[in-house]
Amino acid sequence: MRRSYKFLLRPTGKQAAALAQCLEDHRMLYNAALEHRRTAYGKAGVTVRYGDQSGELKHIRADDPAGQGRWSFSSQQATLRRLEKAFTAFFRRVKAGQKPGFPRFKGRGWFDTVEWPKDGDGCRWVSQPEHPTATFVRLQGVGHVRVHQHRAIRGRVKTVSVKREGSRWYVVLSCDDVPAQQLPATRAVVGLDMGVASLVTTSDGEHLANPRHLQASADRVAAAQQALARKKRGSKRRRKAVARVTALHAKVRRKRLDTAHKTALTLVRDYDVIVHEDLRIANMTRSACGTTEAPGRNVAAKSGLNRSILDAGWGVFLTVLAHKAESAGRELIAVDPANTSRTCARCGRCAKENRVTQAEFACVACGHAAHADANAAINILRAGLALREAADAA
């Protein structure tokens, strides 16, 4: 398997300045390469590819030895490949009739990652398992940067990336040949119903809490955003206010990810087969405003629901669950969620009237009463087991 490990960097002041300059120079390279492509096609109708721009790198580095020339050649090639991927995705969307999204120039704050494609080429991961505090990553042009390695890595380090998040720096290692850590079999199966009141409700009737991290920090975030709105654009105080808002949102994001990891780990340890809804979260959280000609209804209520869904972090949780299930050797099944909340788990009657309230389920046919989410989780489990049996039979 291939896995990524993310560790906090502890750079000195001089190293932090070098890392910031490294990001800035790679951003300028990205923007210059994009301008080159736009100009060549706009004025001469010539399509410039990655190979053409990669071949010009040696001349760019020779002309600017103190700038572009101080960084790794491979990392600059990775930045050009990043632009190539953006154009490839653009043309794919054009052919598919989707919204194209032409590649944009990267402004300050919109380019926060530099990748080194191979460990040992412009970078070197230096880890000593017996001395975790003596872990470093060596980066060309920056030096040996201390790493807070909070867990052991497995497999072989393939690529090394440095990422800036607010005032923090992280190193991300992509490792190949990571061995699976299979857990002992439990012979238990479970269905999961995603919700807002509870993050997850299992078919066993257990409700896993939704901490609502953004709502808990709403007052501090609102105060920081109001302070930001009062600052003059381009001022030093505005930059500090932006950093404050960014730090608050980053903390909420880390808390949400931590909850997803702990909840997913609990489920993976307890169950061999996990069935969940195949949710289209982007569609579920679309705005209800509508258009001028056809304005939407219940816009405020839908906006609040969208905020709650996004605060719950369903997408983050399902992504983490999939990774942990693969590593532990568990089976994960996604099923169509249509009508799972309206169908009686006892008699199978599907009716809108069965869902009395958001939390109550009472079948109009057989009188079965249960928590609505627990009833839906049972239906989800049955649908997943049916899919599993059909796949085995085929």
Q: Is 373 a catalytic residue?
A: yes
Q: What torsion, rounded to 10 degrees, do the Cα atoms 287, 379, 325, 158 define?
A: -30
Q: Is 24 a catalytic residue?
A: no
What's the helix, strand, coil split of the chain in %, to 5? 45, 20, 35
Neighbouring-strand partners of residue 268: none
What is residue 68's three-state secondary structure?
A: helix
Catalytic residue among 119, 193, 272, 311: 193
Contacts 24+ apart (CB under 8 A), 174-179: 174/2, 174/3, 174/4, 175/2, 175/3, 175/4, 175/5, 176/2, 177/1, 178/1, 178/2, 178/3, 178/154, 178/327, 179/1, 179/154, 179/155
Catalytic residue among 25, 84, 272, 373: 373
- Strands (DSSP E) contained in the chain are 3-10, 113-116, 123-126, 136-139, 143-148, 156-165, 168-176, 189-194, 198-202, 207-209, 273-277, 331-335, 360-362, 369-371
Catalytic residue among 25, 119, 277, 311: 277
Per the listing, tokens 């721009």 go with 53
Q: Is 311 a catalytic residue?
A: no
Which residue blocks in 352-371 are alpha helix, DSSP H?
Answer: none
Instruction: Determine contact, residues 116/75, Cβ cutoff 8 Å.
Output: yes
Query: How many CA within 13 A on the CB side of residue 185?
Result: 2
Instruction: Determine contact, residues 194/277, Cβ cutoff 8 Å.
Output: yes
Rounded CA-CA distance 195/311 in Å is 11
Q: How far is C-alpha 376 from the geometric centre of its chain's CA atoms?
A: 27
Instruction: Determine contact, residues 370/363, Cβ cutoff 8 Å.
Output: no
170, two tokens: 């992280």
Q: Are strands 123-126 and 136-139 parallel, antiparallel or unpaired?
A: antiparallel
Q: What torsion, rounded to 10 degrees, do the Cα atoms 239, 70, 27, 40 define?
A: 150
| Residue 166, H or E segment | none
So which residues are the catalytic ones?
Answer: 193, 277, 373
